[in-house]
Chain A
């Protein structure tokens, strides 16, 4: 029997004698249809009141372990497993990753009441308990009877935490609760978690650990095959397993700086000279003079995107040039996605819209629509949810399809698609169904289908959302390669690091208006800002990126 746990600190074993809140010994577990065991004789325990962070690459079984520890497996989900001994906590709460699939009722109060009903709490105590729980997580709603759909994703996660608190849990299991949140929501949920963790055992699975790394007592690092590599205080684990943290794609504090030191990072973040060439260009693609010529790829004047005949985004004037990488930032619901959709002709638009020197025709008539669709084929688009973009049942066919639509001969398309898949690290799985990829691979495939066509303009709606660091960098590298061939890129993102380090320009959208557009530090490093010449900068409002990124730049660096 192999016990792969590497105990960094023998002193820990003394603490193990403490009262255990959760424990499993000799766990074996196998998902039906999988070749190998997910866990082979794994042992894990956490003492009462301990805050434990489980780390590891995606697919290593962290979430599964959480479900085993809580007893969800096998009670709610049938997965073959056995163990020699187990302590299931008497009371526990669970917060899952996806804010949209944790609730069964339409309103905040009804959802919380659902939990209280499960515990047979008398009706007249319900309101009071709800308010207390919401208060604890910092959700101070004036009216409890509020549709859950009206809450932001970050608020939904705090509501999920509140409903877990109603169970009066000894142990809180948190399964990547911040993975699908923007930076603001991420901060809020971790603040809430910290404020409720007093006296409770916390078992956290997360690949974004900037916020929690310093807070937890203990970090447990898993290898890709479900074996515990390291177990100990955060600083010690981070120091000893720095290499693993990087290769597993974990968002540890300082990950951007470390990446910037690597060869790929230096290329990706290489300063762009506003009037000369990309500096420090190590890629084999030919360097592009910048700007290429005076002619913008996209020119907008009095441009409006409409939903139900109401303008949801308006830009008085804006221009996009070749080889620009524009980060579109702004709060949720400000109209960033609507902006991309209206550029893509998926929302009705008004005003002047010139694409590659040709005005995009507006109108509903069939002929006009056909013409417009033809014109807009020069743009590539990547939606947020990759699954909804797949058309075929084979990964190999996905990229080929994009190329065939552009009338490429079949053989050439096949060859080019193979090259494309290889670049995206997807070769060797051509025959699998796209849905059976991991989330990161799915995302890469969806980006590949749009990039393979070498569009003049590429629009991406939060392509790095919810991705681990490795995937994020891979996608950004791909975008940068494409940019260097002259494609203009517009990327909606919440990550200020991307806007600052990778993009050449930052556009900010608030309440359906382009409120500021400026060159990013990456461009500025090379030369003076080009913003005066842009003709799209409106004085008055300037964007202060330093505040947003400060949070990520600080923190321990292993």
Chain B
């Protein structure tokens, strides 16, 4: 039989990010950016509830990173997703200005490092929980520079960031896993998955000849 197209045209199945990977990541993240923007008002509603209850909602701001990873499953998308989402917030005139881009970068990095530690292979609930928490820790590091958080009373510091980590793990981790599964059921994500070796082998399958 003839040689496969891949060999012939010298096109290797690329592992890096393709245009469609980036475009899907960015568009999905922009949608999340709009959600982030409005999430701010929900967040502020929670403020008066009890001290720092708002931290329980903080995890939503890491959701783009984990969802984009679950969709594309390639290196780099978590960071791109968070920066893209933050970019929308900046565009809409957020009170945080360009700091958001840096927050996005470091939060995305937090999640990205976790995914990298699992070699971009795992999409288990634990991985997602750890990634969500990783993004929360990323945002905590930004807070050190930004707002003297080390000067908070110790118990307060622990409560604040404890809640944030939990929120990251639950919202960005578990909830996004549920969302990604719901998207998988619709079938659209099959557009984003690379073909497996098995699919290529099926071309030469004797049953088809």
Q: Which residues of A contact B (CB under 8 A)?
A: 1, 26, 28-30, 32-33, 36-37, 40, 71, 74-86, 393, 433, 435-436
**Majority DSSP secondary structure for residues of A touching B:** loop
20 further contact pairs, Cβ within 8 A, besides A80-B202, A393-B182 = A26-B2, A28-B203, A30-B203, A76-B20, A77-B20, A78-B195, A79-B195, A80-B199, A81-B4, A81-B5, A81-B203, A82-B3, A82-B4, A82-B5, A82-B203, A83-B5, A84-B1, A84-B2, A86-B5, A393-B185
What is the bound-complex CA distance between A37 and B204, given in angstroms?
10
Chain A residues with CB under 8 Å of B193's CB are 32
Q: Is the Cβ of B203 less than 8 Å from the Cβ of A32? A: no
**B153 part of interface (Cβ distance < 8 Å):** no
**B117 part of interface (Cβ distance < 8 Å):** no
A32 CB, nearest partner CB in chain B, Å = 4
Interface size of B in residues (CB-CB distance below 8 Å): 30
B67 CB, nearest partner CB in chain A, Å = 18
Chain A residues with CB under 8 Å of B16's CB are none
Which A residue's beta carbon lies closest to that of B188? A435
What is the bound-complex CA distance between A30 and B207, given in angstroms?
14
Chain A residues with CB under 8 Å of B3's CB are 82
What is the bound-complex CA distance between A440 and B194, given in angstroms?
27
Q: Is the Cβ of A32 less than 8 Å from the Cβ of B190? A: yes
A443 CB, nearest partner CB in chain B, Å = 17
Q: Is the Cβ of B2 less than 8 Å from the Cβ of A32? A: no
A sample of 5 inter-chain contacts (CB < 8 A) reads A30-B199, A80-B200, A83-B2, A433-B187, A435-B185
Which B residue's beta carbon lies closest to that of A37? B208
Chain B residues with CB under 8 Å of A78's CB are 13, 194-195
**B11 part of interface (Cβ distance < 8 Å):** yes
Q: Is the Cβ of A75 less than 8 Å from the Cβ of B9? A: yes
**B41 part of interface (Cβ distance < 8 Å):** no
Contact with A along B4-19 (1 / 0, CB 8 A): 1110110101000011
- Given the known interface contacts A78-B13, A433-B187, the answer about A40 and B196 at a Cβ–Cβ threshold of 8 Å is no
B1 CB, nearest partner CB in chain A, Å = 7
Chain B residues with CB under 8 Å of A28's CB are 203, 208
Number of A-B contacts (CB under 8 A): 68
Q: Is the Cβ of A40 less than 8 Å from the Cβ of B208? A: yes
Contact among A33, A82, A86, A435 for B186, CB-based, below 8 A: A435
What is the bound-complex CA distance between A32 and B193, given in angstroms?
9
A29 CB, nearest partner CB in chain B, Å = 8
Contact among B4, B185, B199, B208 for A433, CB-based, below 8 A: B185
Q: Is the Cβ of A82 less than 8 Å from the Cβ of B1? A: yes
Q: Is the Cβ of B2 less than 8 Å from the Cβ of A85? A: yes
Q: Is the Cβ of B202 less than 8 Å from the Cβ of A37? A: yes
What is the bound-complex CA distance between A459 and B44, given in angstroms?
41
B189 CB, nearest partner CB in chain A, Å = 11
Which 5 A-B pairs rank lowest in CB-CB distance, beginning with the nearest?
A84-B2, A435-B186, A82-B4, A80-B199, A32-B195
Chain A residues with CB under 8 Å of B209's CB are 1
B160 CB, nearest partner CB in chain A, Å = 38
B194 CB, nearest partner CB in chain A, Å = 6
A2 CB, nearest partner CB in chain B, Å = 9
What is the bound-complex CA distance between A80 and B186, given in angstroms?
22
What is the bound-complex CA distance between A393 and B187, given in angstroms?
11
Chain B residues with CB under 8 Å of A1's CB are 209
Chain A residues with CB under 8 Å of B5's CB are 74, 81-83, 86
What is the bound-complex CA distance between A76 and B2, given in angstroms?
22
Contact with A along B97-134 (1 / 0, CB 8 A): 00000000000000000000000000000000000000
What is the bound-complex CA distance between A82 and B3, given in angstroms?
7
Which A residue's beta carbon lies closest to that of B13? A78
- Centre residue among B19, B193, B202 by max chain A CB count within 10 A: B202
Which A residue's beta carbon lies closest to that of B1? A82
CB-contacts of B165-209 with A (<8 A): 182, 185-188, 190, 193-196, 199-200, 202-204, 208-209
Q: Is the Cβ of B208 less than 8 Å from the Cβ of A436? A: no
Q: Is the Cβ of A436 less than 8 Å from the Cβ of B187? A: yes
Chain B residues with CB under 8 Å of A435's CB are 185-188
Q: Is the Cβ of A30 less than 8 Å from the Cβ of B202? A: yes
Chain A residues with CB under 8 Å of B202's CB are 30, 37, 80
Chain A residues with CB under 8 Å of B187's CB are 433, 435-436
What is the bound-complex CA distance between A232 and B104, given in angstroms?
59
Chain A residues with CB under 8 Å of B11's CB are 74-75
What is the bound-complex CA distance between A30 and B208, given in angstroms?
11
What is the bound-complex CA distance between A384 and B187, given in angstroms?
21
What is the bound-complex CA distance between A28 and B13, given in angstroms?
18
Chain A residues with CB under 8 Å of B1's CB are 82, 84
B181 CB, nearest partner CB in chain A, Å = 11
Chain B residues with CB under 8 Å of A433's CB are 185-187
Which A residue's beta carbon lies closest to that of B185? A433
B21 CB, nearest partner CB in chain A, Å = 11
Which B residue's beta carbon lies closest to that of A394? B185
What is the bound-complex CA distance between A79 and B11, given in angstroms?
12
Chain B residues with CB under 8 Å of A30's CB are 199, 202-203
